[in-house]
A and B are shown apart, each in its own frame.
Chain A
Amino acid sequence: MRSEPRVPVSFQEQEGGGWLRAAVETVRREWLIAFRNRQDLINPLVFFVLIVSLFPLGVSPEPEFLRQAGPGIIWVAALLSILLSLNLLFRNDYADGHLEQWVLSPQPLALLALARVGAVWVTTVLPLVLLVPVLAVMLHLRPGTGLVLVLTLLAGTPVLVLVGAIGAALTVSLRGSGVLLVLIMTPFYVPVLIFGTGAVTAAVEGASITGHLALLGAMLSLAVVLAPLAIAGALRISVSNG
């Protein structure tokens, strides 16, 4: 049995109000769970590093090749490991009935979902981004390139988590939905991948990266506004499934 902290859903008592409090409680609960199940935090990181290290082994260890392909490899590995960890995003909450409490609570479900996704980004994706400088050295990227890569990942990965959470919410009630999530969500990740790696390529060629970053930012703001609504809708459907 995993040790799950029992945080009472105390914010239900405040009729409709206490939005901020509800969001903060959601984030706090998420962090407690994350730090008490450390293995779940470490697994996506190991997966990420493993995927990246397969490329030098499988394709070519030549520094010249790695310098060229490195940013793309890191982006794709980050994308895959986010998809992998998103599969578990709502799984336990669905199993223990927490999602039903969410749906019943007077605070808007979209807000709770946004708080939840934000907390997940900080606990599972941010460590991954912090690992990137190490991997950049291993793939012989130039220091400047590594920095731009980290910047694009910081701007792009929240979009991946927000959009992927829609798929996670849709598939949470299905058994063995890991591959399904990858199948339905990967096409949506293409624009982020294109602009993320595009910025790095532009930086390598000495061009300006602000355009790419601005577009990533535009996608991020669009996702922050729209994705929580879709996540909330999807969660309602999955919970009504019973």
Chain B
Amino acid sequence: MWQWFHKLGSPKWFFGIAGRLMPWLGWSALIVLTVGVVWGLLFAPADYQQGDSYRIIFIHVPSAYLGQSLYVAMAVAGVVGLVWRMKMADTFIASATAVGAAMTFLALLTGAVWGKPTWGTWWVWDARLTSMLLLLFLYLGVMALRGAMEDPDVRARASAILVIVGVVNIPIIKYSVEWWNTLHQPATIKVTEAPSMPASMWVPLLICLLGFHLLVAWLILWRMRNDILLRERRARWVRDWVLAQ
């Protein structure tokens, strides 16, 4: 276990293993997502209340889920980076920030598209929508801080601290926003009061969720490999690898 952990800290080893994993992840993401999306959008039964507009959940739910969980994953990487000074932890944070922000944005966008026909409005200051918007701002803050810093070591530690402070605050932000909403307007609209879905709906949703995870893993590994090449551009093995291409 610890040997594996030490290996994980080596950019060269990680670069190699990520290169071998990526084709598997990429192709399986493509296949699983195609199956899930086609099943969800074309073959799953329409909702008796919302008709076809509910089908956006096959994109919306996975992206919202990943938008939130990636931030937590970044915080874990931040702790690992601060405690063990592992280079790969910062590479992960660098790569996951943009992907997480993109997922959060996608969740907001698909939510708005779904909200228009269902609620009759693109946006409401609902608890869930607002906390997702704030999550997007948290991601943008991490990106802004990283963009402003030049020294890689300082950047790594500073963004780790910011991400950890963020993850401590996420529950506070989430609950305060929820309370704010219920204080001001008694819930007129339930955003995702999980209806008891039939299997013909939740099975494709589960497949889409798996597909999104594979896609995100592939994207992050891809970005991490680029980040490693950029960081280690003076190392000999990078030059050999580039020349071999």
Contacts and interface: CB of A to CB of B under 8 A. Distances in A.
Tell me whether A and B are bound partners.
Answer: yes
Nearest to A185: B141
Contacts of A190: 134, 173, 176-177
Interface stretch (A36-44, A118-126, A169-177): A169-177
Interface residues of B, number: 29
Contacts of A167: 162
B78 to A, nearest CB: 11
Nearest to B170: A187
Nearest to B174: A191
Nearest to B183: A198
Report whether over half of chain A's contact residues are helix, strand or loop; otherwise say mixed: helix
Interface string B101-114: 00000000000000
B87 to A, nearest CB: 16
Interface in B104-132: none
A184 to B, nearest CB: 4
A184 B141 CA distance: 4
A64 B176 CA distance: 28
Contacts, number: 77
Main secondary structure of the interface of B (DSSP, over half): helix
Given A170-B161, A240-B154, A188 B169 contact: yes
A171 B176 contact: no
A234 interface: yes
A184 B145 contact: yes
Interface in B146-167: 148-149, 151, 154, 157-158, 161-162, 164-166
Contacts of B149: 174
A79 to B, nearest CB: 14
Contacts of B176: 190-191, 194-195, 215
B180 interface: yes
Nearest to B139: A187
Contacts of A230: 161, 164-165
B168 interface: yes
Q: Give me the 7 closest cross-chain CB pairs, A-B, nearest first.
A: A184-B141, A191-B176, A194-B180, A187-B137, A237-B157, A241-B154, A194-B176
29 contacts: A167-B162, A170-B158, A170-B161, A171-B148, A173-B154, A183-B141, A183-B144, A184-B145, A185-B141, A187-B134, A188-B165, A188-B169, A190-B134, A190-B173, A190-B177, A191-B177, A194-B179, A198-B180, A198-B183, A201-B183, A215-B176, A226-B168, A230-B161, A230-B164, A234-B158, A234-B161, A237-B157, A237-B158, A241-B151
